[in-house]
Chain A
Amino acid sequence: MSQAAEAAAAKVSAADGSLLEVDDLISHYPVPRGLLGAMMRRPRLTVKAVDGVTFSVAAGEMVALVGESGCGKTTTAQTVIRMVANQGGSIRFDGAEIGELSPGQLRPLRREIQIIYQDPYESLDPRFTVRDTIEEPIRVHSLVPRKEDREAKVYEAMERAGLTPPELFIDRYPHELSGGQRQRVAIAAALVLEPKLLIADEPVSMLDVSVRAGILALLDGLRREGMGVLMITHDLSTAAHFADRIAVMYLGRIVEEGPARDVVRNPQHPYTKALISVVPRRDPDQRAFPQILTGETPNPVRVPPGCRFHPRCPVAEERCKETDPELRALDGVAVGHRAACILLGPPSGP
């Protein structure tokens, strides 16, 4: 995995030839006022779940979107696959804008972007055998008319997902599988459509430690074969090991982004620094000296003005309350490592 990380460090931000380019994405949810609220003419409130997010994923690249619960990482993924509508910004996939496509126009695209979820106990239909689960996407997309060909596709997807030998698993129901095997079935059902981009939303957090590495190695293998992988995770250690790039989200914004190794070893944004300082280490002799931020992530209904992190920031200054910082390149960091903090240098020239 470290080779992957080094390759990533060498990789320059893939603005050219990116598979997925998300620019200034905005996705807000209305907060229901209720009848009483409407009668009392309470102001309409919105949850600013995704509030100006910019990132890209290249083919053969794994990008980890990292952050605490409520930071908007899952909404970002759902907006990318257009399960949630965006109120602004653009989503380009394979060079074409997909943010404005109608549901009918989106259909072919749904094949090319696949998503797997956190909980393989919930995401599989308990009445479907492994065959049914993996075959269903091909049928829904009417891709392969002949039954034998479909069966061959199912076998191939199972082998790629590490469910070998397929005969052993193909007629089983989810309850006859372990957690790791279930997640492999979910991955096989995504692979059967030969997607270009795989979104993995917390793919291992429900699994036992001993099987996590196997699932992550599987995703890493798919990346090596040229698939783009967007991994949503709260686990910085996993992201550091398996992703090429890490984007750290806070309250609907990416506050720092760059090559995975560089972000965890040389964090720049005060939030990333604090987040990294509280990650427990494996070696008891390297106990962290946690820089614990008080409180919890504020409510995305009331995003603080200026820098959204300033109320919890240990180094905030007066000007942080006024200026909303943008992601920008910095001195003394790897190429493609950017952070959104006005206190960080250089700003020598535009």
Chain B
Amino acid sequence: MSARPPVIRVEDLNVWFDLPGGGELHAVQGVTFELRAGARMGLVGESGCGKTTTILAMMGLLPATASVSGKVLLDGEDILVGGEETISPHRWSDISMVFQGAMNAFNPVRTIGAQIAEPMVLHGMATGKSARSRVAELLELVGIAGDRANRYPHEFSGGMRQRAAIAMALACSPKVLLADEPTTALDVMVQAQILELLVSLSTTLGQELGLTVILVTHDLPVVAQVCDRAAVMYAGEIVEMGGMSEIYHDPRHPYSRMLFAATPDLLGDDEVLSIPGAPPRLDREIVGCPFRPRCDSAFEPCSTVRPGRREPVAGHEARCHLNDPSLTELPS
């Protein structure tokens, strides 16, 4: 770990959604993490685990039915504290996002260049000629010839539109880039191009601007390929977080281990095992460990006591009673 202060720190983030029939759904539960400049972290988990809600909350983009508590500290300053008023000066200019399916969300009747310029114009960073030259620069940065700016979305392939969406997110030179499933609909060759782009942006821009990347995906191998850290989410919580290599070789939560075992590896020989059962409903109170009904290592305290965050190894934390020596070393 370097001594650089974290560029972004999320502290005890909670999100509840009001349900139409009354009641609340606790989608994000006490999410806490921090990243220093230039880091690449994967936020992984299955659908409904709260990974997208977490980053939308960081951007202040949740719908009105959501209530949020906790802090999002950008260079030490809490941007959530004043709601839209304190978030909007930072959105796009300090923290920006590539939305899931962004490559299919371009307006078909406006040129790519005009759409990339939009955040710059809105934030008063550039207009007219200077905006146009910045657009060309951004396109070159993501590997598209700058003179393609006056093309329309349909003239771009899927991979090029995804590059353009990344260029748009970088338009105001953010410090933190949140990428939600940026390669999910893409072919594996194009995926490799986009992942290489994300890595090169964070290494080159990381030196200039300290670009920090949070990659949200359900695809563990993609995180393994790109990120140095990972946070595994389950039922709204980060259940394990640490170095990617440590999580793979020494998982401290059974869910992470079982998720890896459910993922076929190209050259692996081990049997691919599904995880029985389904995640719990988040509109009811959960007693004990949320993963207990699906866990292959559950023991006595798991059904009654909700596991808290523990750090069995420096920089590697998990929410699992197996990491509590006072519970596991009880005489039988």
Contact = CB atoms under 8 A, between A and B. Distances in A.
Interface of A: 1-2, 68-69, 178, 208-214, 216-217, 234-238, 240-242, 264-265, 274-276, 278-285, 287-288, 290, 292-293, 296-297
Interface string B283-326: 00000000000000000000000000000000000000000000
A210 B268 CA distance: 17
Given A210-B275, A264-B267, A280-B221, A68 B189 contact: yes
A281 B224 contact: yes
A213 B271 CA distance: 9
B47 interface: yes
B259 A284 contact: no
Contacts of B263: 209, 237, 282
A285 B269 CA distance: 17
B262 A296 contact: no
B265 interface: yes
Interface in B190-208: 190-193, 195-196
Contacts of B250: none
B220 interface: yes
B267 A240 contact: yes
Contact of B225 (A1, A237, A287): A287
B189 A208 contact: no
A280 B218 CA distance: 13
A280 B278 CA distance: 26
B248 A234 contact: no
Interface string B211-236: 00000001111101110000000000
Contact of B271 (A1, A214, A281, A296): A1
A282 B46 contact: no
Contact of B188 (A1, A2, A275): A275
B31 interface: no
Given A208-B46, A208-B47, A284-B245, A274 B189 contact: yes
Given A282-B221, A283-B224, A209 B265 contact: no
6 contacts: A210-B46, A240-B267, A281-B221, A281-B224, A282-B248, A285-B245
Contacts of A293: 189
A238 B274 CA distance: 13
Contacts, number: 125
Given A208-B46, A292-B196, A283 B188 contact: no
Nearest to B49: A208
Given A209-B218, A240-B267, A283 B189 contact: no
A214 B274 contact: yes
Contact of B262 (A69, A213, A292): A213
B264 A284 contact: no
B244 interface: yes
Considering residues A213, A237, A282, which has the most beta carbons from chain B within 10 angstroms of its beta carbon? A282
B225 A210 contact: no
B84 interface: no
Contacts of B278: 178
Given A178-B278, A208-B47, A284-B224, 12 more contacts: A210-B275, A217-B274, A237-B221, A237-B264, A240-B267, A278-B191, A280-B225, A281-B225, A281-B267, A283-B265, A296-B158, A296-B159
Contact of A210 (B245, B269, B274): B274
Contact of A284 (B159, B191, B244, B268): B244
Nearest to B228: A284
Contacts of B266: 236-237, 240, 264, 276, 279, 281
A284 B192 contact: no
A282 B191 CA distance: 16
A1 B267 CA distance: 12
B77 interface: no
A59 to B, nearest CB: 24
B272 interface: yes
Contacts of B159: 296
B187 A282 contact: no
Contacts of B272: 1, 212-213, 216-217, 241-242
A251 to B, nearest CB: 13
Contacts of B259: 209-210
A332 B243 CA distance: 40
Considering residues A237, A241, A280, A296, which has the most beta carbons from chain B within 10 angstroms of its beta carbon? A280
Nearest to A294: B193
A145 B187 CA distance: 47
B258 interface: yes
Interface string B241-254: 00011001100000
A23 B220 CA distance: 38
A212 B262 contact: yes
Q: Sorted from nearest, which 9 A-B pairs have the closest CB atoms?
A: A280-B221, A278-B192, A213-B274, A214-B274, A210-B275, A280-B225, A68-B187, A284-B224, A284-B244
B186 to A, nearest CB: 9
A62 to B, nearest CB: 14
Contact of A238 (B245, B249, B264, B267): B264
B48 to A, nearest CB: 9
B46 A236 contact: no
Nearest to A215: B274
A292 B189 contact: yes
B224 A280 contact: yes
B46 A296 contact: no
B192 A208 contact: no
Contacts of A278: 188-189, 191-192
A282 B219 CA distance: 9
A234 B187 CA distance: 8
B273 interface: yes
Nearest to B159: A296
A259 to B, nearest CB: 14
Contact of A213 (B193, B195, B273): B273
B40 to A, nearest CB: 12
Given A280-B225, A296-B159, A241 B189 contact: no
